[in-house]
Amino acid sequence: MSKYIDIAVNLIGSALEKNIDKIIQDAAAQGVSPLIVIGSDLDESEQAIKRCQQYPQQLFCTAGIHPHHASEWQADSAEQIKRLTAFPQVVAIGECGLDYNRDFSPRPMQRKAFEAQLALAIELQMPVLMHERDAHEDFLAILKEYRPSLPAALLHCFTGNRQSMQAYLELDLHLGITGWVCDERRGQELAELVTDIPDNRILIETDSPYLLPRSMRPKPKSSKNKPQYLPYISAYIADLRGQNHQEFAQRVYENSVDFFALKKREDFSIERGEPHEAS
């Protein structure tokens, strides 16, 4: 069985959390383990760490403040995130970035929180997991300033156009691809672009419980996306790229391990290809 790492699961406070045991078990049965749980504000990041501690062989997480919550940024927010990153379960700063589509936080506050988290990722030399929607120009301008000192940077749930993709690849970003690519209505452009992402820069994710792949047959009874569907997304992308399913899955798995520096984690064994408890 191929191995997969779902790099973006919105577990905390979502429909998935109440069935967390089954979600983790069903994913693992399909070779999807571990899962990277997203922290989108300080409280959610703390809750994510607690969940990871409960499932040390199956969950890792991020810690950060999403642009939707940027208005909550305070003078001590960076220090609070820094405190959270001391927990070994935290593998990246984020989810941070800019979202001008919803504008749940004022744009100046979004930019301030984004820059502060990039600076923190540089200080700690940690990967950063980022979000960008309808904010390409400002996002790119800010990122260009910080990217040379960042150890690794991922734009998750990429749904942009060719121009933005090329700009991000020139900055040596990793791009996370979701089931959006399986949507015959909205994902056609992404389906064309995904063939041009270099093998060493592509990652895959469900972004569950959102973005259930529309092309799945039989269609799941629930409209909620789940980490167990990641192999379907992987195979769909491999077909678009004209690559062997198993070879593509293995390469993306290795990309995920490298990006999140999982080889350095005591509870993860790349040799075995799965997490294990520290001795």
Q: ∠ CA(244), CA(250), CA(253), 5° rounding?
A: 135
* One-letter amino acid of 113: A
Cα distances (Å, whole numbers) of residue 215 to 61, 182, 203: 29, 6, 20
Q: At what angle are helices 136-146 and 107-124 packed, to 10 degrees?
A: 30
Rounded to a whole number of angstroms, the distance between the first and last alpha carbons of the chain is: 26
Measured on CA atoms in the order 257, 62, 70, 158, is the torsion positive or negative? positive
Strand ranges inside the chain, DSSP E: 4-9, 32-37, 59-63, 90-99, 128-133, 153-155, 174-177, 202-204, 268-269, 274-275
Binding residues: 95, 131, 156, 207
Identify any residues that bridge with 154 across adjacent strands, giving them in sequence order. 129, 174
Could you tell me if 240 and 191 are in contact, meaning their C-beta atoms sit under 8 angstroms apart? yes
Binding residues for a divalent metal cation: 95, 131, 156, 207
* One-letter amino acid of 238: A
Strand ranges inside 78-232, DSSP E: 90-99, 128-133, 153-155, 174-177, 202-204
Tell me, rounded to whole angstroms, the distance of Cα 205 from its chain centroid: 7
